[in-house]
Amino acid sequence: MIVIQPKTGKLPKLSLIFLHGLGDTGHGWAPVMRMLASVLPMVRFILPTADHLPVTMNNGFRMPAWYDIYSLDRNAEVDKAGMEKSVDLVKQIIKSEHSAGVEKVVVGGFSQGGVISLLTALNTSEHLAGAICLSGYLPYKPERTLATHVPIFMGHGRDDQVVTFEYGKRSFEELMKMGLTVTFKEYHNMGHSASEQELDDMVAFIRTFIIDDHADL
């Protein structure tokens, strides 16, 4: 797990746990988070790496994955057990940050990581300041939602051919029906990736919904 400490040199009052996508590691997003640290100097960035799992969609090839994927078809069966295991891992990190004196925790991620961030936001009793989902989706509607007060940012490329834009948009609409506060941004000429504009919007989300609401941060 990679941890990027706040540039202030002080104990952070806000930590961002960011989860990578399928086949990646925490190292893959480290350069991006170090860049964001320059504009969010009060934030600690935590980048876990998923265990290596056999992924059915990839002929059982083992790779870092937060859960198994059986098919890209949105109507396919999902690995709820694997998802719940990863959510439990994130909950442990959130609890650890609170125990260390960090007042606010945000969970975010890209693709698979974004899926886990959404499920964590919906299923944790731990206090969560916000959630971020980049190029992700809501795989299923939880039987119960523990936290409807958590603000969520979702970003999705119009040209995404892995997790289609339509799937991301429908997930946003489903979250809205559940009563959550969700900001959804779409990006033209962007596939299954992130862009500078999306990262700028993510930073603006953190500042507007989280930092600005707590001036002492």
Catalytic residue, chosen from 20, 24, 79, 111, is 111
Catalytic residue, chosen from 98, 127, 159, 192, is 192
Catalytic residue, chosen from 24, 68, 79, 160, is 160
Helix (H, G, I), strand (E, B) or coil at 20: coil
In the annotation, is 188 catalytic?
no
Task: Report the C-alpha gap between 80 and 87 in whole angstroms.
Answer: 10
DSSP assignment, residue 31? H
Tokens found for residue 171: 């997930």
Tokens found for residue 32: 């991006």
| Helix (H) / strand (E) containing 198 | helix 196-205
Helices 26-37 and 196-205: crossing angle in degrees, nearest 10, is: 70
What is the β-pairing status of strands 104-110 and 61-64? unpaired
Q: What is the dihedral of CA 12, 4, 205, 153, to 10 degrees?
A: -120
In the annotation, is 111 catalytic?
yes
Closest CA to 83 of 113, 128, 124, 127: 113
In the annotation, is 192 catalytic?
yes
Strand spans (E) along 40-126: 43-47, 52-55, 61-64, 104-110
Positions marked active-site = 111, 160, 192
